[in-house]
Amino acid sequence: MDEEGESKSSNEGPGIPKWLPTFADMMTLLMCFFVLLLTFAEMDVKRYQQIAGSMSSAFGVQREVKADQIPMGTSVIAQEFSPGRPQPTPISEIYQQRTELPPLDAEAVENTESVPAADLTEQMKENIQALIHQTEDAAAALAGQLQAEISKGEVEIETRGRTIVLRIRERGSFGSGSAELVPQYRTLMRQMRDLLATQPGAIRIQGHTDDVPIATSRFRSNWELSTARAVSVAEELLADNILDPHRFTVSGYADTRPLAPNDSATNRARNRRVEIVINQGLDQKVREQLDALKIEDPAYYESLGIDDQSGMRAEEVF
């Protein structure tokens, strides 16, 4: 027994410590752990360079760097918040849109090309003349109903293109220096009221006097007298609420728009008047045609005699 035990103890030589395998396993696991940490870590290149530079200075590492540019300070804002720069994204698809245009009407194109500028000008002239003839026909109808007053010289009717002027003479309508209508003229006003109700367009009541100055307790000048007479006529026309008051404009011109020179009693009597102006107007299309005629045919445009009231000159007087 003793010899066998001694032989076993003599055969066992010195070996590695029993704690060493455990320590090796632990170190291996720690190395794997740090490798994983390094793998998932994000490296800040600028901060790494700063740390590396400070460590180099601390350990006495020196190198020569040529300063080609002036050193610039590093902004913390520039480091942390850099401006966004969108990366270009290539588009692999090309979209194409096609709009189907309707086919042109060959007949319309042919008609447009076949009408010369001269024919268009003539067509515009015909359109304007047709409107003027309509106004003249309306004025002729009014003249027929006021034939008795026209023959007495109390009323005149005049056309100015698309405008009809009913001119009331002072004779028998107003007293000298007065703005009150005489009773017999009120019947004429009622007749005119019915006639104006049948005519479209804006209505302007305009008072006129001669150049003889006036200075009374009621009227200090011809301006007041002419305006007061126009107001009297307008109030009489609006008495029965047949006409729309929004169509009316009342004004007085004193002696600034005479029909004849104020050089005689006859002419001064003619200048003392109240005019009822019916402006039937021109639509936008006709005004555009007039502007075109002014360029295409200036002579014809001048023959129309454009004025600031109706766009036309006087054509007929009844």
137-183 confidence digits (pLDDT tens): 988 988 998 898 889 888 999 988 788 999 988 876 888 888 888 88
Q: Which residues pair with 181 in a beta bridge?
A: 174
Nearest residue to 286 (alpha-carbon basis) of 262, 310, 254? 310
Residues 6 or more apart in contact with residue 123 via CB below 8 angstroms: none
Nearest residue to 146 (alpha-carbon basis) of 172, 166, 171, 162? 166
Instruction: Tell me how far apart the alpha carbons of residues 126 and 124 are, in angstroms, rounded to a whole number.
Output: 5
Nearest residue to 164 (alpha-carbon basis) of 188, 124, 196? 196
Regarding pTM above 0.85, the answer is no
CATH of 118-317, picked from 3.40.720.10, 3.30.1330.60, 3.40.190.10, 3.10.180.10, is 3.30.1330.60
The residue type at 90:
P
- pLDDT bucket at 37, cuts 50 / 70 / 90: confident
Residue 247 is predicted with a pLDDT of: 93
Contact 267, 260 (CB under 8 A): yes
SS3 string of the chain? CHHHHHHHHHHCCCCCCCCHHHHHHHHHHHHHHHHHHHHHCCCCHHHHHHHHHHHHHHCCCCCCCCCCCCCCCCCHHHHHCCCCCCCCCCCCCCCCCCCCCCCCCHHHHHHHHHCCHHHHHHHHHHHHHHHHHHHHHHHHHHHHHCHHHHHCCCEEEEEECCEEEEEEECCCCECCCCCCECHHHHHHHHHHHHHHCCCCCEEEEEEECCCCCCCCCCCCCHHHHHHHHHHHHHHHHCCCCCCCHHHEEEEECCCCCCCCCCCCHHHHHHHCEEEEEEECCCCHHHHHHHHHHHHHCHHHHHHHCCCCCCCCCEEEEC
Burial of 296 per CB tally in 10 Å (0-12, 13-18, 19+): middle
Residue 83 is predicted with a pLDDT of: 52
Q: How many residues does the chain have?
A: 318
Instruction: Tell me how far apart the alpha carbons of residues 139 and 144 are, in angstroms, rounded to a whole number.
Output: 9
Residue 117 has pLDDT above 60, yes or no: no
Contact 244, 200 (CB under 8 A): no
203-231 confidence digits (pLDDT tens): 999 999 999 998 888 999 999 999 999 99
50-99 confidence digits (pLDDT tens): 766 666 655 555 555 555 555 555 554 445 545 555 455 444 444 444 54
